Chain A
Amino acid sequence: MGISVSHISKSYKAVKALKDISFEVKAGELFGLIGPDGAGKTTLFRILTTLLIANEGTATVANFDVISDYKNIRKSVGYMPGKFSLYQDLTVEENLDFFATIFGTTIEENYDLIKDIYVQIAPFKDRRAGKLSGGMKQKLALCCALIHKPKVLFLDEPTTGVDPVSRKEFWDMLKRLQQKGITILVSTPYMDEAALCDRIALIQDGKILEIDTPQAIVKHYPKQIYNVRANNTYQLIKALNTYKHNHSTYPFGEFVHYTDSRLNFNPDDLVRYLESKKLSNIEIEKTNPTIEDTFMELAK
């Protein structure tokens, strides 16, 4: 009842958007597609929601083939595109009512499913959708995608452009929806959200780099990462990048994540090197890899 993708490729004229993509999403799973802008996430969503036809490969959604059985898929999935795609000149309630009607249902019939989300936007139900804030718009869009009780939910970058508090609320809602038995495929460019999925696929330039649970992906990270801090972060990055044993250097919040190419790395060597580069207040400590580190390492 989930999603099955096998050897999907898709090109737009000269650009290869997807190259031989294969993966499975189990029924009831919360599956994340993690990758930067332009990685091919939206193209993949459009193929799975029957809006585009792949050049090669096959895919099924809820056991329906995306090409021959597209009508059944359109009846049984919920789709929330990356761009806000509701009627801006209709009110919150009118939008929801419209989508319920075209799916042959009513708001009352499936109110249970959307209740948690809808109560948050209910105070604004007479406001036009175009006048809502970013987070409100996403909640309304989610309600509209859920109103017909879909078996599979496709969410294309639902939290892009949404404030951190609303993002957290949004993910809490996804977790609750998952408990109701809905299979969810969600894409996001935010690495911190990846950890909230059951399994994730890291995708870049139309290729899948790795598929696993967030915990396993992090475990596969081959090196010890060090948090490095100094009085001048910009100078610090420059110095680390020119260090002859440097393996990788990425700014990460207030720290710089550093890995060394040697197996018997001694942080004291690095401190001395950095001091020679006129940096002070140097701190170096071990840290655990995050999904972002893994992604950067794989994308190298």
Chain B
Amino acid sequence: MKRFIGFIKKEFYHIFRDRRSLFILFGMPIAQIMLFGFAITNEINNVDIAVLDHSKDATTKEIINKISASKYFSINQFIDKESDIETIFKKGKVKAVLNFEKDFSKNLIKDHNAKIQIVTDATDPNTANTISNYVNAILIQYQKELNKNITISYQIVPRTRMVYNPELKSVYMFVPGVMTIILMLVSAMMTSISITREKELGTMEILLVSPIKPIQVIVGKVFPYIFLSIINAIVIVLLSIFIFKMPVQGSLFLLGMESVLFIITALALGILISTISATQQTAMMISLIGLMLPVILLSGFIFPISSMPLPLQMISNIIPAKWFIIIIKGIMLKGVGMQFIWKETLILLGMTIFFIGLSVKKYKIRLE
């Protein structure tokens, strides 16, 4: 036991004397959560649009007013001819152009049918889609106001309610994702680097020729990072609660326990990486490419798994991050308890035991 404590003491010296890594370790979560929370967002706000009004009558003016009154759009400029549409798109100043046909009001009253064209810049397809939906919604609303006094005999009225995130804040989606990334990165990369560093510096040679047991080395290596990762998880949750007003509907204790489980999964992966890589460089590359990309792309953090092709959906099942994201979204947003997430928890637990077993088996008691 004394040996083990001595070993952990040494690990903490390593961590606290490497100021740069320490700064990254604690700076990164804060920077990432701020970035994802404030800068990177799917929402549209104050998108610049242009108007090409061929009729310039009362109705078009009213529609334009309605659109510019919404917080989503600001009317940036008015153009006079069709050929200008392409020019202003090329300049990149506006994302959409509203094109009112000639005699808009007259057609509406006489033929009960007036046309408006919505041209969007689809270099960014998601934004283009959202813009056209929002404009449509405003137009339908306006149409309803016009038809107020007329009763249509058959009518289907959809009433949409967004539950768990009624304001559709994208930060609700990013917080669980960022937390997963950070815990994965800190735990897996830092441990794999710290074990391979011993190999690279030759100190592993001396550790091997000593009575210290492999299990003591492994646990001694991961222990400090469990501690640091828990601090990171707490910082992320606090930031999301106090800065982004993200509610934690479920039990904080359960959230904590599940996070610890995921941290251990990631640490086990880190040890596994260190057993197959000889240098810090390799360990870092494997952690970054082998872990980060799948975590970002295949875990359902950014891209929904259900819309992926079947083979990728199957691959996503072996990514621990996918299960953890399901778990923490459930706890934080839906407020579910263990009875709804026991399956995911068991999968994570199984993966952890598998990784630890494999790395203990692969740990080399000699140099080759």
> Are B211 and A102 in contact, CB atoms less than 8 angstroms apart?
yes
The 0/1 profile, CB within 8 Å of B marked 1, for residues 64-85 of chain A is 0000001100110101010111
Most buried by A among B10, B13, B209, B365: B209
The distance from the CB of B297 to the nearest CB of chain A, in whole angstroms, is 36
Taking a contact as CB atoms closer than 8 A, the residue among B7, B211, B367 that contacts A74 in the complex is B211
For A74, what are the chain B residues with a Cβ–Cβ distance below 8 Å?
A: 208-211
**Interface: A86 (CB within 8 A):** yes
* Bound-complex Cα distance A46 to B212 (A): 18
The distance from the CB of A268 to the nearest CB of chain B, in whole angstroms, is 56
For A77, what are the chain B residues with a Cβ–Cβ distance below 8 Å?
A: 209
For B3, what are the chain A residues with a Cβ–Cβ distance below 8 Å?
A: 101-102, 104
> Are A51 and B209 in contact, CB atoms less than 8 angstroms apart?
yes
For A166, what are the chain B residues with a Cβ–Cβ distance below 8 Å?
A: none
Most buried by B among A51, A81, A84: A51
* Bound-complex Cα distance A74 to B3 (A): 15
**Considering only CB atoms and an 8 Å cut-off, how many residues of chain A contact the other chain?**
30
* Bound-complex Cα distance A88 to B200 (A): 13
Most buried by B among A94, A101, A102: A102
For B212, what are the chain A residues with a Cβ–Cβ distance below 8 Å?
A: 102
The distance from the CB of B207 to the nearest CB of chain A, in whole angstroms, is 7
Taking a contact as CB atoms closer than 8 A, the residue among A51, A84, A90, A104 that contacts B367 in the complex is A51
B16 (CB) vs chain A CBs: closest residue: A89
For B2, what are the chain A residues with a Cβ–Cβ distance below 8 Å?
A: 101, 104
CB under 8 Å from chain A, chain B span 178-208? 201-203, 205-208
* Bound-complex Cα distance A144 to B203 (A): 12
Quick one: given A74-B211, A90-B13, A104-B3, are A52 and B367 in contact (CB under 8 Å)?
yes
Chain B interface main SS type: helix
The distance from the CB of A5 to the nearest CB of chain B, in whole angstroms, is 17
A82 (CB) vs chain B CBs: closest residue: B202
> Are B202 and A81 in contact, CB atoms less than 8 angstroms apart?
yes
For B5, what are the chain A residues with a Cβ–Cβ distance below 8 Å?
A: 101
* Bound-complex Cα distance A98 to B368 (A): 25
> Are B367 and A85 in contact, CB atoms less than 8 angstroms apart?
no
For B367, what are the chain A residues with a Cβ–Cβ distance below 8 Å?
A: 46, 51-52
> Are B205 and A98 in contact, CB atoms less than 8 angstroms apart?
no
**Interface: A265 (CB within 8 A):** no
> Are A102 and B18 in contact, CB atoms less than 8 angstroms apart?
no
> Are B203 and A86 in contact, CB atoms less than 8 angstroms apart?
yes
For A88, what are the chain B residues with a Cβ–Cβ distance below 8 Å?
A: 201
* Bound-complex Cα distance A255 to B13 (A): 53
Taking a contact as CB atoms closer than 8 A, the residue among A51, A53, A84, A87 that contacts B10 in the complex is A87
> Are B368 and A53 in contact, CB atoms less than 8 angstroms apart?
yes
For A187, what are the chain B residues with a Cβ–Cβ distance below 8 Å?
A: none
> Are A81 and B206 in contact, CB atoms less than 8 angstroms apart?
yes
CB under 8 Å from chain B, chain A span 120-177? 144
**Considering only CB atoms and an 8 Å cut-off, how many residues of chain B contact the other chain?**
26
> Are A90 and B206 in contact, CB atoms less than 8 angstroms apart?
no
> Are A75 and B206 in contact, CB atoms less than 8 angstroms apart?
no
* Bound-complex Cα distance A83 to B14 (A): 20
The distance from the CB of B11 to the nearest CB of chain A, in whole angstroms, is 10
Taking a contact as CB atoms closer than 8 A, the residue among B9, B13, B201, B211 that contacts A85 in the complex is B201
Quick one: given A81-B205, A89-B17, are A101 and B366 in contact (CB under 8 Å)?
no
For A70, what are the chain B residues with a Cβ–Cβ distance below 8 Å?
A: 365
**Interface: B6 (CB within 8 A):** yes
Taking a contact as CB atoms closer than 8 A, the residue among A49, A83, A84, A89 that contacts B209 in the complex is A49
B213 (CB) vs chain A CBs: closest residue: A71
The distance from the CB of B314 to the nearest CB of chain A, in whole angstroms, is 39
Quick one: given A52-B366, A102-B212, A103-B211, are A89 and B205 in contact (CB under 8 Å)?
no
Taking a contact as CB atoms closer than 8 A, the residue among B9, B10, B209 that contacts A50 in the complex is B209
The distance from the CB of B20 to the nearest CB of chain A, in whole angstroms, is 12
B18 (CB) vs chain A CBs: closest residue: A89
Quick one: given A77-B209, A90-B13, A101-B6, are A85 and B366 in contact (CB under 8 Å)?
no
For A102, what are the chain B residues with a Cβ–Cβ distance below 8 Å?
A: 3, 6-7, 207, 210-212
B13 (CB) vs chain A CBs: closest residue: A90
> Are A75 and B14 in contact, CB atoms less than 8 angstroms apart?
no
Most buried by A among B202, B211, B367: B211
* Bound-complex Cα distance A52 to B105 (A): 91
> Are B366 and A50 in contact, CB atoms less than 8 angstroms apart?
yes
For B6, what are the chain A residues with a Cβ–Cβ distance below 8 Å?
A: 97-98, 101-102
* Bound-complex Cα distance A49 to B206 (A): 10
The distance from the CB of A9 to the nearest CB of chain B, in whole angstroms, is 15
Quick one: given A52-B366, A98-B10, are A71 and B211 in contact (CB under 8 Å)?
yes
* Bound-complex Cα distance A16 to B212 (A): 32
For A89, what are the chain B residues with a Cβ–Cβ distance below 8 Å?
A: 13-14, 17-18
> Are A79 and B13 in contact, CB atoms less than 8 angstroms apart?
no
B5 (CB) vs chain A CBs: closest residue: A101
> Are A90 and B10 in contact, CB atoms less than 8 angstroms apart?
yes
For B368, what are the chain A residues with a Cβ–Cβ distance below 8 Å?
A: 52-53
A144 (CB) vs chain B CBs: closest residue: B206
For A50, what are the chain B residues with a Cβ–Cβ distance below 8 Å?
A: 208-209, 366
> Are A79 and B211 in contact, CB atoms less than 8 angstroms apart?
no
* Bound-complex Cα distance A114 to B209 (A): 20
Quick one: given A52-B367, A101-B3, A104-B2, are A85 and B203 in contact (CB under 8 Å)?
yes
B7 (CB) vs chain A CBs: closest residue: A102
CB under 8 Å from chain B, chain A span 41-70? 46, 49-53, 70
Interface residues of A (CB under 8 A from B): 46, 49-53, 70-71, 74-75, 77, 79, 81, 83-90, 94, 97-99, 101-104, 144
Give 25 pairs: A residue, B residue, CB < 8 Å, sorted on A.
A51-B209, A52-B366, A52-B367, A52-B368, A74-B209, A74-B211, A79-B205, A79-B206, A81-B206, A85-B202, A86-B203, A87-B10, A88-B201, A89-B17, A90-B10, A90-B13, A94-B13, A98-B6, A101-B6, A101-B7, A102-B6, A103-B210, A103-B211, A104-B211, A144-B206
Q: Which 3 A-B pairs have the closest CB atoms?
A: A101-B6, A85-B202, A79-B209
